[in-house]
Structure 1
Amino acid sequence: MHKSTNKRCKSNGKVARSGRVARSNGIDQTEKARNAARIIRTIWKNPLISRYEIAERLHLERSTITHQVNRLLELGLITEISEGQAGPAGGRKPIHLAINKDYGYIIGIEMQVEAYSVVAVNLAGEVLRFKTAEKLITPEHFIQEVLEIALNFAEEMGGTERLIGVGVGMGGIIDSERGLIHYSIPLHLTSPLDFAGAIAERTRIPFLIGNDANCCSWGELAFHKADGLKNFLFTLVQFRSGNVAIQEYGGVGVGFGIVIDSKVYTGTNFTAGEFRSAYWTDGNRAQFSIPYEEIMTVTKNPQILERFTRELARNVALFVNTFNLNKVFIGGDIEAYDLDAPAIFAEEIRHNWMYPTPPACEATYSTLGEKAVSYGAAGMLLYRIFTSTHLPVDYEGDQDPLVLSLHL
């Protein structure tokens, strides 16, 4: 069995950037990087795949597959897992390949007004460490607070040497491609903030930022890739007990992560998924028709909780049936309560459906609970890596090829 060597190299919490691309022929190197990205993406989406199957799926020469797979094994990005069964004609048994889940780890952070949660996951999405803590976050110190949370947690993980990057999720209108926070009600950011630029001035560790509900969708795409998810909705429901959240909007926040054709849809101005109930009444500080004074009691009053869930489900039903989605995830704090929210959602989806055949949409809990946003933020970064179009594995230098693939 091939023994791989992980040659990743980082120092002082910063990703080294020395070295030059081995480039005897620029076009040839670009093609190699493109093929490497296609190969590792295929392995990521299809664990326990063989070299032969990769060649068949990608229509690449066996020599190309052999060279690239050997290089990925050498870097420690993939590993050989087991031998498969020989074909009917006999011959050598195929060796199965998989992503090396222990190649490194990713940190995911959820930033709230008065608290944060942070998680570390490996490349298989297995949670290595998780914690949540109270902390008052202010716009003036937001960048520094995020950086300190990430670096302190990395130290708890043994340092930054194996840290691939950090994903951050928060409520607001966010351009995750450019790393720009346009607006955030919960964190009181009322003017655009160049998050990516500010972070880059302080560290070379890759940071990505995204809307909290969108992060949850990226998490489902990244860590449940084998489930064939293509068109779904992630409904993020958060119940906040802090004084600021209670006073401003009743402590109940809802947002949607929308996935169409396996891509997170953010809309023209990155506001897709921002939610206000179709039954909302003018002047209500909450997002629903339920008066502010009543929705404040949603976590303590079962009748208000069911009424809230029913109104939310009716809004979701219209969206689900209009766009013919096949799954609805319900995630966040609502998972912890004694209420069958998926059954209520399914009932309202059926009620809204106009045809005699039942709607082909399943409503289910996400099972991530309080980890939903931070876990999803880690998934956002992992998804960006493995859907990159280029993976420069022949880079002559000590920078991590996964970091290079982020194009930051």
Structure 2
Amino acid sequence: MIQGIQAQYGSAILRELFPHGWKSRAELAEILGLDRATVTRIVQFCMERGYLVEAEGGEAEHERLSLSEGEKLQGRPRVPLGIPDSLGYVVGIEIQREFVKAGALLPSGTILIEHFFPRKKDDELLEVIQEDVAAFIRTPPLTTLPLLGIGIAVSGLVDPLRGELFFSPTKERGATPLKIKEPVEQWFGVPVFVDNDAKCSCYDILTYGTGRERRHFLYVFCEFLESPEDPLTYERIGIGNALVLNGKVYYGKAFQAGEFRSVFADPQIPGQFGRASCGYYKDIRSNSDRRRLFIEELARNIAFIANFLDLEAVYMGGGIEIFRQEMTSCFEKAVADTWLYQEELPRTIPLYIAETDAKPAVRGAAAMVYRHIFEGPLHPELSIPTGLTYLEGLRR
């Protein structure tokens, strides 16, 4: 058993190797400023527990080390270490009013298995998690791997510390905050993390996407729910935003940063866009003029934020990919139009739109859990352990 400072060193080693950081014992000792004997002892413990593995000589793993031929020939060969997918899996859950998506994500970022659960209008949110997700976890091959945790993404206002949902399309207005974290932890016996769906999508980009190389970006989560009566009409359109500053998701003073309402909205009309009526943009698939207006309005809102905060990039997902070409051109123009110094200092901001089959909220909900385990607490106020202490706690 490793405790105290040794457990901290072990957590630091795991942090260096997550998610794809294959490194040798010597490299870890140098990076962390530890003697090799300490690193060797902790690595041996982690390998016996199944937290780490040595690469089996595969070229891909050795190429990541970028060792010179001289280094390879000096003394014992440097064997790369990594976190294996056999460590276990995290369940990522996306909950919307009309459906629930669940996916089992391995540490490498691979979705092992996924499922879509349609929701009936009278379904209670917690009942869906307790019954459908429990059945999902009993599906092979999940029965052969340890469950490491559960991440839940919901649209609306969330307190991630308490794991409570204050308002969302998934619950009635005026209802008391819905406790999600506490009952789900009791049912499944593992730590549970709950957050807004747009913020969860940021964790996917930060952990497994190009966001690992960026410190400041905006994520825009677009929901387009088709009408069951008319596939060319949207029953609901929802826009959620999340901001990453200095490599961390920004929450604001009350965890409500990123909530969207267009700066062009009529204050007398409800809804995120407030244009003539709540349903003004619902026919944008068939009405090209209205679609153009919608995309231009959304692009100008996003571009203003991106320019004002001097962001490196903007990511979009959740359904906007069907308007990829129009969105890209409108955003490029909006960035130029809302940048004061375009003539003197021309600016472009990269826009990345997810592929059609991407599941950013599901992956992000699971990535949120992995980031807590391997990269430290998501919030300083959380009392859930991290690193080696977290993994050891699951064994008790």
CA distance in 2, matches of 1:112, 1:41: 32
Residues 262/338 of structure 1: CA separation in 2 closer, same or farther (3 Å cut): closer
Alignment of 1:341-352 (within 5 A): 341-352=327-338
Q: Residues 337, 156 of structure 1: CA spacing in aligned structure 2 closer, same or farther, 3 A cutoff? A: farther
1:39 matched to 2:28? The reply is: no
1:164/1:402 contact within 8 Å kept: no
- Report the TM-score when normalising by structure 2: 0.85
2:353 corresponds to 1:365 = yes
Q: Distance in 2 between matches of 1:338 and 1:259?
A: 23
The CA deviation string for residues 34-78 of structure 1, in whole angstroms up to 9 with x for no partner, is 111111001115522222221222111111111111222222222
Alpha-carbon distance in 2 for matches of 1:379, 1:45: 10
CA contact (8 A) 1:350 1:359 kept: yes
Asked if residue 178 in structure 1 is aligned to residue 162 in structure 2, the reply is yes
2:392 maps to 401
Q: Residues of 2 paired with 1:76 and 1:310: CA distance?
A: 51
**Alpha-carbon distance in structure 2 between the residues aligned to 1:308 and 1:229:** 29
* Higher alpha-carbon deviation: 96-105 or 215-224: 96-105
SS at match of 1:71: helix
Q: 2:114 aligns with which of 106, 117, 130?
A: 130
Q: What's the CA shift for 1:101? A: 2.3
Give a deviation string over 1:216-235, Cα, whole Å, max 9, x none: 01111121278412111110
Tell me the equivalent position of 1:62.
Answer: 36
Which segments of 5 or more consecutive residues in structure 1 lack a partner in the other structure?
A: 1-21, 24-28
Q: CA deviation at 1:252?
A: 0.4
What is the match of residue 145 of structure 1?
128
1:195 aligns with 2:180: yes
2:276 counterpart of 1:294: no
Contact 2:374 2:387 in 1 (8 A): no
CA gap of 1:337–1:319, structure 2 versus 1, over 3 A, is closer
Q: Which amino acid aligns with 1:219?
A: D
**Residue 376 of structure 2: aligned partner:** 388
RMSD: 2.8
Instruction: Check conservation: 1:250, 1:295, Cα contact below 8 A.
Output: no
> After the TM superposition, which residues 6-405 of structure 1 pair with which residues of structure 2 at under 5 Å, given as runs?
29-44=3-18, 47-81=21-55, 82=57, 83=62, 85=67, 88=70, 90-91=73-74, 92-136=76-120, 141-160=124-143, 161-188=145-172, 190-224=175-209, 227-241=212-226, 251-291=236-276, 292-337=278-323, 339-355=325-341, 356-359=344-347, 361-367=349-355, 369=357, 371-388=359-376, 393=388, 400-401=391-392, 403=394
Distance 1:113 1:136 in 2: 9
Is the alpha carbon distance of 1:61 and 1:391 closer, same or farther for their aligned partners in structure 2, counting shifts above 3 Å?
Answer: farther
Aligned residue for 1:156, secondary structure, equals: coil
> Does the CA contact (< 8 Å) of 1:250 and 1:285 recur in 2?
no
Q: Structure 1 residues 81-90 or 361-370, which shifts more? A: 81-90
Alpha-carbon deviation of 1:135?
0.7
Secondary structure of the residue that 1:88 maps to in structure 2? Answer: helix
Q: Quote the offset at 1:155 in angstroms.
A: 1.5
Q: Which amino acid aligns with 1:67?
A: R
Unaligned runs of 5+ in 2: 378-384
- Say which structure, 1 or 2, has more relative contact order (CA 8 Å, 6+ apart): 1
How many residue pairs were aligned?
Answer: 371
Deviation at 1:286, TM superposition (A): 3.1
Contact 2:372 2:386 in 1 (8 A): no
Distance across 2 between alignment mates of 1:149 and 1:242 = 25
- 1:15 aligned residue: none
State the alpha-carbon separation in 1 of the partners of residues 149 and 140 from structure 2: 13
Give the deviation of 1:370 after TM superposition. 5.7
Structure 2 distance, partners of 1:224, 1:370, is 12
Q: Distance in 2 between matches of 1:310 and 1:226?
A: 25
Identity between Structure 1 and Structure 2 (%)? 26
Deviation at 1:392, TM superposition (A): 6.5
Greater Cα shift, 117-126 or 85-94? 85-94
CA distance, structure 1, for counterparts of residue 346 and residue 81 of structure 2: 40
Shift of 1:100: 0.7
SS at match of 1:55: helix
Contact 1:138-1:187 within 8 A present in 2 as well? no
